[in-house]
Structure formats: C-alpha cells, structure tokens
C-alpha cells in the first residue's frame, strides 16, 4: 500500500499548493520522488515524532494542510498527547499516515506491531479514520481525506493473506465494498482484514457457508449510506467481523454497537501473549487465529439455523 499511497499523495500535493509532506525520517525507497519534486514542501522532521506533530499543527494553524508520515507505532503511540492536544482539540487539517498497521512488521516484534492504533485514535475528538482493504482503495481514501477540514488518520498495511477480488459494489463516500452475496451470515472485514475473508472465499469454500462478504474502511460509520450492509445484517441476523486489531477499542467492537441487533455476533481479532513467537504477517495471523480456515468455521457455525 505504501507505493499506492505515495502516488496518491504526489497528486494531492500537485493539486493543492497549500499542502506539504512531513516524514519522521522514514519512507526510504518510496518518498524520494516526493522530496525531489516538492523541495521545501517536503520536510524530514527526523526521529522526533512529538516535535513532528507540533510542527504539523503549527503549519496547519498558518493555513497549510500537512501530511505526516511514519510507521504506525511511531506515528500514533509516540506522540499521542500532541495529536490530542495540538491537532484534534483545535480540529486542524493534519493528515496522519501510519504505515504497517496490524502485524505488517511481523518479525520485528510487538514494538513494531500496530494492533491498537485505531482504538487509540478513535476516541479523540474530531478524528476520522481510514483503513483501506486493498491497494486500489488507497487513492480513494487519500481523496476523501483531502476534503476534510479536520484531522484524519490513514492506516496502511500488508495482509498476510492477500486475495484479489473485484467488488460487486463500492460506496465512494464510506468506501464500504460488497464482495460476495450470501443469505446465511454477514461477514465484515475491517480494512485489510477483509483479505482473510476473500482468501477463504477463493481457497476454502466460504461461499458454502452462505457468506455475504463486506469490507469496511472508514470510521465514524455512515451506516445509513451503506444500505446493502444494513439489509444484509437484517436479513441474516448473524454477523462475523474480522479485525487485525486488539478487541478492546476495535472497529469490530464499534460495529457490534452500531449495527442492528442480531441473534449471533462474533469477532475474530488480534491477540498478544508474552510467550508468543514472531514471524511473517501470515505467521502472526495464524498464531492469533485470524485465518481463512477459522473464518469459514465461524461462518458455518453462525449461519447454521
């Protein structure tokens, strides 16, 4: 997703002279063209994330619209106080970008995993979250973020179970996509976790469970604009949510409260144990039980009447 993002933000900078780009000394082999093209509108703030957010807030107060980039743990956790106080409380158009959501940085361990980033930011005032499910959805998220008058966060990630499926439909405002039609259980993938459901469709016979598969990619929700999703939930009365995030504070948790009341609701989310091992994103997902096989089994169970 990082390459797709740099292409999209390159266009955003070209079309908006008031925008600029700030990196926390990260983005090598991806951001060089931005730096060469935009000169003084490209700033390397160094390994100083708290200061980087303060600089971005000051630039925004001066009438500019900065994009701020780092890997997700550094972009969110190291500078949360500055995001809250300097950006969100003043409702400034600072666009935060965190690369490596979920288990993307697998082998680098828990310090580099971002499994609570959405939950941490979700409760901040005026913050909007974007978490594309596929590479080709990144540019749409960037375009929507450009329209916002307040702060936003873009979560970029690499799925451990990548599957390519053309959506049956997409809502251009909420970015919700409908991937497969079924009548027994509504399966919702949060961001890139939808790839787990699509892999289950392609390789593990998820369609046999009667799965109606959706991907959500924006918070706060605008469910009234996502009528297909609402109708599916009301029809199946069974919901399975996949979220590469800890359960507490997750989008899965918010969906449970936001969706119509159902008979069965289950979520499969990330987990952490002090004794766990580290490996590729796919290894981490399997260790946490976020697998296509688990998706199919849960869908069959929830969809059974």
Same fold, 2-156 and 169-303: yes
Confidence (pLDDT) at 28: 81
pLDDT one-digit tens code per residue, 54-112: 999 999 999 999 999 999 999 999 999 999 999 999 999 999 999 999 999 999 999 99
Question: Where along the chain do its domains lie?
Answer: 2-156, 169-303
State what percent of residues in the chain have pLDDT above 90.
90
pLDDT number for residue 1: 80
| Short-list 250, 245, 294, 252, CA closest to 270 | 245
Q: How many CB atoms lie within 10 A of CB 275?
A: 4
What fold is seen in the domain 169-303? Rossmann fold (3.40.50)
pLDDT in tens, 204-239: 889 999 999 999 999 999 999 999 999 999 999 999
pLDDT tens, position by position, 18-56? 999 999 998 888 889 999 999 999 999 999 999 999 999
- Confidence at residue 16, expressed as pLDDT on a 0 to 100 scale: 95
| CATH fold group of domain 2-156 | Rossmann fold (3.40.50)
């Amino acid at each position: 997703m990082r390459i797709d993002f740099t292409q999209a933000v390159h266009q955003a900078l070209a079309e908006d002279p008031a925008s600029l780009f700030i990196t926390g000394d990260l983005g090598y082999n991806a951001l060089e063209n931005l730096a060469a093209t935009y000169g003084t509108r490209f700033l390397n703030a160094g390994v100083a994330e708290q200061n980087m957010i303060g600089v971005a807030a000051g630039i925004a107060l001066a009438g500019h619209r900065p994009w701020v980039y780092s890997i997700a743990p550094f972009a969110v956790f190291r500078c949360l106080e500055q995001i809250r106080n300097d950006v969100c409380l003043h409702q400034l158009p600072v666009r935060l970008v965190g690369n490596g959501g979920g288990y993307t940085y697998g082998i680098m361990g828990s310090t580099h995993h971002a499994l609570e980033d959405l939950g941490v930011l979700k409760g901040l005032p005026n913050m909007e979250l974007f978490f594309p499910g596929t590479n080709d959805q990144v540019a749409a998220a960037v375009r929507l973020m450009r329209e916002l008058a307040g702060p936003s966060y873009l979560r970029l990630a690499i799925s451990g179970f990548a599957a390519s499926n053309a959506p049956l439909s997409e809502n251009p405002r909420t970015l919700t996509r409908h991937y497969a039609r079924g009548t027994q259980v509504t399966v919702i993938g949060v961001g890139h976790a939808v790839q787990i459901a699509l892999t289950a469709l392609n390789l593990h016979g998820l369609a046999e469970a009667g799965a109606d598969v959706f991907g959500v990619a924006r918070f706060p929700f605008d469910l009234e604009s996502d009528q297909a999703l609402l109708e599916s939930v009301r029809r199946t009365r069974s919901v399975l949510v996949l979220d590469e995030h800890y359960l507490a504070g997750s989008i899965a948790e918010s969906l449970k409260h936001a969706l119509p009341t159902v008979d069965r609701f289950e979520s499969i989310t990330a987990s952490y144990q002090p004794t766990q091992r580290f490996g590729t994103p796919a290894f981490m997902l399997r260790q946490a039980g976020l697998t296509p096989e688990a998706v199919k089994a849960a869908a069959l169970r929830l969809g059974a009447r």
